[in-house]
Copies of this chain bind each other. A is one copy, B any other.
């Protein structure tokens, strides 16, 4: 089969690889019909993720059809249309029993990281019963593949951890795919004010279209100050960090109201300065989280009911064997006005 293989920093190829087979009783092999590229894949290509070794097939998002199942798989059969979760879970270990699949003793984020991933014609999924989901009938691949990673990530790490509630004033810092997915899913809880902050006007336009009540261009004005003005000096109930650098974390610190939440979604490559000399008395809650995908069943229900539409996040479409070009587009997201790029398999 063909697959997108990482060959060390800056190097990748769409090349022939052996088709994966069931290796363990709990495995399934899935033929990929749709996959996509994540910002994390770009980090890997830069060499920022040392756990990913040369020779690894990338990708942790995908929709497909079950091609083979191990004897221990109970919930899926050959031919089933499935969503691949970016998180693999055994459901048995202490972490999983607490719903913290991200720290599963035998799983977690391993796809396209420590085992081969989904940017390929086929992928082997360990612990299939607890790492795949049945695709609801009538839902398009394009919408569905957004539930592999970005929707549960934004919802769990941003919205649930931020405890967004009816009437809240929230700020989302970063309007990339994750920030916009946080916007989409924050609306499940009816905040009354949603301020989205980014440098890219195109993304801010999308944010408005998706329901932001205000947008702030942090390239043109001091975002922290502007948010304080917009909130009458009170600050926000929830600040969602969806970038992962000290500057955006600082905006969150400067706008969170007393009693508020900072929900960090971003993947940080360095430490940040936390202003406890001011925040110690402000009754704030700061959370971090690697997505657990425990809310994927609920998100699937919302998708099937038509109550969630992530397709506005899809900006570009390619054939799977055109993935090298898709990476170029995604890597130049601002210029290409790209959010999520869809790769359609055969």
Chain A residues in the interface with B (C-beta under 8 A): 25-26, 71-72, 74-75, 90-92, 94-100, 102-103, 106, 129-130, 161, 165-167, 187-190, 192-193, 244, 249, 258-259, 264, 266-277, 279-290, 292, 294, 297-299, 301-302, 305, 307
Contact = CB atoms under 8 A, between A and B. Distances in A.
A137 to B, nearest CB: 13
B277 A288 contact: no
Given A188-B189, A264-B276, A264-B280, 17 more contacts: A71-B71, A72-B72, A74-B106, A91-B91, A92-B130, A95-B259, A97-B297, A100-B258, A100-B283, A190-B307, A192-B307, A267-B281, A271-B276, A281-B289, A283-B290, A285-B287, A286-B287
**Top 6 nearest A-B pairs by Cβ distance?**
A72-B72, A192-B305, A268-B276, A281-B290, A91-B91, A274-B274
A273 B276 contact: no
Contact of A190 (B95, B102, B189, B282): B189
Contacts of A26: 72, 74
Nearest to A267: B280
A106 B129 CA distance: 13
Contacts of A302: 166-167, 190, 192
Between A74, A75, A279, A283, the greatest number of chain B beta carbons within 10 A of the residue's beta carbon is seen for A283
Nearest to A296: B97
A284 B277 CA distance: 21
Between A98, A280, A282, the greatest number of chain B beta carbons within 10 A of the residue's beta carbon is seen for A280
B92 A74 contact: yes
Nearest to A192: B305
Contacts of A99: 99
Contacts of A106: 74
A281 B102 contact: yes
Given A97-B294, A188-B190, A268 B273 contact: no
Contacts of A74: 26, 90, 92, 106
A190 B164 CA distance: 13
Contacts of A281: 102, 267, 288-290
Nearest to A155: B166
Contact of A272 (B95, B102, B274): B274
19 contacts: A71-B72, A90-B129, A97-B294, A167-B305, A189-B190, A190-B307, A192-B302, A244-B280, A264-B280, A266-B280, A267-B280, A268-B277, A271-B276, A280-B288, A281-B290, A283-B287, A283-B288, A283-B289, A286-B286
Contacts of A277: 268-271
